Amino acid sequence: MFAMKSALFAALALIALIGSGSALTVTLTGSCRGIYQVNSTDYVDFMLNNSGNGPATNLSFVPISYGISLSARNGTLPILYAGNTSVIRFEVSNATLNGTYAFGMYVSYAQGGQTFVVTFPCLIYRGKPSAQYVYISNMSINGGILSTEITSIYGKRLPVTLYFIAPPTFTIAPKQTTVLMNGSSVEDVNVSLEKGKGFNGQVTLTGVVSYVIGNTTYAYVKPLQISLASVSASGISITWVILGGIVAVIVILIVASVFIKRKRAKGGAAP
């Protein structure tokens, strides 16, 4: 009977351990600042914060941009503990105009034996932020089509570059398009989109428009949250399989305990 109780307590402890382990999460938020100079070299800082309750490990940072070139000074990070913020510096090589620039940051990390990739849009400035004459007024996804509505209030013909910052498994074609805005106007651009697999919860898809007027560069970003869900081939998490087995063991132990007590009670009542 003592062995049975010990097994029961061990099973309950294992359930608590699994429950606490599966509750660990990594929640990353990213932001950026720049452009600033150190010894005549332009730099941009990307700040990454982990507001979850578990550590992210083996982090790597890859900037994506069609307007400027960034190279990582320290593009990897062994671990980012919960509640901590890390700053990654990038060298900028061709931001020659004053105004606003946009880029995306891919951050991959490991957590709980799995690798994840998240994306963050960034706006940075040389000099002062530039006013907006062109912006993305709407983005939507219908089936395999990503529709983007671009609005111009500039009043003159203006070539605008539209591109997208998306998770690596997304396939967008074309990923970059030049749109000729005819004065104050609205243009609709449709591209094909395949979301890919392997995501849970929400991911961020960002549309970017960039353009140049005179000697000033302009950029605008429009994030779109996409809810995705994926399950394993069996549709059941391994954690729940383990918990189900433990519950079954506990039920068997309880039934066996009741059976033994009844048997002993009948034995004690016999003359």
pLDDT at 187: 96
Stretches where the chain sits below pLDDT 70 are 1-22, 72-74, 197-202, 228-271
Cβ atoms 200, 178 nearer than 8 A: no
Cβ atoms 121, 139 nearer than 8 A: no
pLDDT at 67: 76
Task: Give ∠ CA 92-217-68 in degrees, rounded to 5.
Answer: 25
pTM: 0.73
Cβ atoms 50, 56 nearer than 8 A: yes
- pLDDT digit string, tens, across residues 218-235: 999 999 988 765 333 233
